[in-house]
Amino acid sequence: MKIITIVTISLTFTILSCNNNVKTVEWINTTPVSTWQKTQLKAETTRKSNGSEIKIYTDRRQQMIEGFGGCFNELGWEAINCLTPENRGMIFKSLFDTVNGCKFNFGRMPIGANDYAVDWYSHNETKNDFRMNHFSIERDKERLIPYIKQAKIYNPRLSIWASPWCPPSWMKTNNHYACNPDSVNGLPEKGKGKEMQTQFRMEEKYLSAYALYFSKFIRAYKDEGIDIYAVHIQNEPNSCQIFPSCIWSPSALARFIGGFLGPQFKKDGLQTEIWLGTIERPQIERIDTILLDPDAKKYITGVGFQWAGKDAIPEVHKKYPGFRLMQTETECGNGSNDWKAAEHTYDLMKHYFNNGANAYMYWNMVLNETGKSQWGWKQNSMITIDSKTKEVVYNPEFFLMKHFSYFVKAGAYKLETSDKNCLAFKNPGSIIIIIYNPTGNTEKSFLIDNIEFKAILSEKSFNTFKINI
């Protein structure tokens, strides 16, 4: 196996004049031509500010950070499985190892097929089986369950959450997994859906059966040794896709959560959290319809956002301070896997963390060299595996995610900074500062209370600083 990582750079750093209170700063730097370069700086106490420093306000604590992760998809397992057991282990170690890897502590998974499944399936395609007698996770034992179990070898405390892209096809009004007709899915034109027009059959027997479907999924996974700590009710409930999808109106989602899913979980004694997710539209009134519904609200723990849902998170953060917030799927690009994609993802991470997000999820952690789904969309991944040559490439977004997840511990708190381009977090015993420098070699000065240090940031560089306090 060949791992492509270029590692040559000359870092420039500044050591301030010595005094009796000098602290060491660990600095990690990644550029387009060099990855994960380590050096040390010195920080010292200062008596005054010159006004140009980036200030880290340790007394202005914001939201708690729960962690980072990515999604377990069938095509990811297929890509990994072409490698030898030893080289597969290296992939999992790089993502989940809690000492030297990305230290991912979250994993998303689909309930049934998503767009990166090998093909369409649900856990019960037996029409009108309202009692779920034919429910089965046998398909998942081929790919998703071994994928997750392998990850848990490196982080046994990995938290798994799940979301459906589509219910069993017979529960939809068009009797098909897709919403938008296309040559890849065989859906007739008359089966096309429309945003805000619910495709789920809203009769009580279907709603009750679907709530039971969720419950059986959680219990079946527990029998496999995998706890599902949360479910998000529907992936992108407003998006009419050529791949597995299902449109729900806000009122329909509220009815399902409050009248069926929540009571089913309570009846079955399930501790699995129910989240309103994954929201991909900016309209706050759609979220209000659900979160202000008294029956639904009492069962909802948090709200998950992706894509255009990012424009809703600022207002949700202000209006609903009691709910936890998650970025559920980083925007997946078009398979470029280039530096520009990493820059875009950094901008997304800034936006989400500056607006109250407690956790951040990547999408496809691993794909083969095509990056394509079975429905034809080529997308980015953290790691690319060439199925023919077995070459493994760690893409720029892998290192960007690691700049956060390696250093920012679950339970850390985000801190306010004087520069919105700079993110800071407080772990027990340390401060983490993350900043991207887009153009030119630039000197930056950082002030943490009365401790100051300086660094010359390379052009186009992601930088993480850790200072023990």
Digit-coded pLDDT (tens) for 111-124: 999 999 999 999 99
pLDDT at 36: 98
pLDDT at 267: 98
* Residue 50 scores a pLDDT above 90: no
* Residue 20 scores a pLDDT above 80: no
pLDDT at 10: 35
* Residue 80 scores a pLDDT above 60: yes
Cβ 18 vs Cβ 44: under 8 Å:
yes
188-202 mean pLDDT: 98
Query: In terms of domains, do 125 and 262 share one?
Result: yes
Band of pLDDT at residue 22, cut at 50, 70 and 90: confident
Q: What are the φ and ψ backbone dihedral angles of 415, each rounded to 5 degrees? A: -110, 150
437-442 mean pLDDT: 96
Band of pLDDT at residue 12, cut at 50, 70 and 90: very low
| Amino acid in the structure at residue 88 | R
Give residue-wise pLDDT tens across range 336-391. 999 999 999 999 999 999 999 999 999 999 999 999 999 999 999 999 999 999 99
Q: Cβ neighbours of residue 232 under 8 Å, at least 6 residues apart?
A: 161, 162, 163, 275, 276, 277, 278, 304, 328
Band of pLDDT at residue 48, cut at 50, 70 and 90: confident
pLDDT at 9: 35
Query: In terms of domains, do 232 and 279 share one?
Result: yes
Query: In terms of domains, do 147 and 46 share one?
Result: no
- CA-nearest of 230, 237, 215 to 275 is 230
Cβ 406 vs Cβ 36: under 8 Å:
no
Q: Within 10 Å of residue 220's Cβ, how many Cβ atoms?
A: 18
Q: Can you read off the two tokens belonging to residue 109?
A: 């998974």
- CA-nearest of 284, 268, 267, 347 to 318 is 284
Query: In terms of domains, do 333 and 441 share one?
Result: no
pLDDT at 14: 36
Higher pLDDT, 91 or 22: 91
Q: Within 10 Å of residue 26's Cβ, how many Cβ atoms?
A: 16
Give this prediction's pTM.
Answer: 0.95
Band of pLDDT at residue 49, cut at 50, 70 and 90: confident
Query: Residue holding tokens 């030898």?
Result: 84
Mean pLDDT in the chain?
A: 95
Query: In terms of domains, do 86 and 136 share one?
Result: yes
219 belongs to a structural domain? yes
* Residue 46 scores a pLDDT above 90: no
Query: In terms of domains, do 97 and 24 share one?
Result: no
For residue 467, give the 3-state DSSP assignment: strand
441 belongs to a structural domain? yes
Total structural domains within the chain = 2
Query: In terms of domains, do 342 and 455 share one?
Result: no
84 belongs to a structural domain? yes
CATH code where residue 163 lies: 3.20.20.80
Q: Cβ neighbours of residue 205 under 8 Å, at least 6 residues apart?
A: 130
217-244 mean pLDDT: 98
420 belongs to a structural domain? no
Q: Which domain holds residue 53?
A: 3-62+427-468
422 belongs to a structural domain? no
CATH code where residue 14 lies: 2.60.40.1180
Band of pLDDT at residue 2, cut at 50, 70 and 90: very low
CA distances from 35 to 39, 340, 377, 460 (A): 12, 15, 28, 12
Integer Cα distance of 210 and 202 in angstroms: 10
Query: In terms of domains, do 163 and 44 share one?
Result: no
Query: In terms of domains, do 199 and 53 share one?
Result: no
421 belongs to a structural domain? no
* Residue 11 scores a pLDDT above 60: no
Q: What share of the chain is helix, strand, coil (3-state, %, to 5)?
A: 30, 30, 45
Cβ 347 vs Cβ 318: under 8 Å:
no
Question: Of all residues in the chain, what percent carry a pLDDT higher than 90?
Answer: 94
Query: In terms of domains, do 55 and 105 share one?
Result: no
DSSP, residue by residue, 354-384: HTT-SEEEEEESEEETT-B-TTS-B---SEE
Query: In terms of domains, do 30 and 85 share one?
Result: no
445-461 mean pLDDT: 96
416 belongs to a structural domain? no
Query: In terms of domains, do 173 and 299 share one?
Result: yes
* Residue 16 scores a pLDDT above 70: no
Count helices and strands in the chain by DSSP H and E runs: 11, 22
Band of pLDDT at residue 150, cut at 50, 70 and 90: very high
353 belongs to a structural domain? yes
* Residue 281 scores a pLDDT above 80: yes
* Residue 89 scores a pLDDT above 70: yes
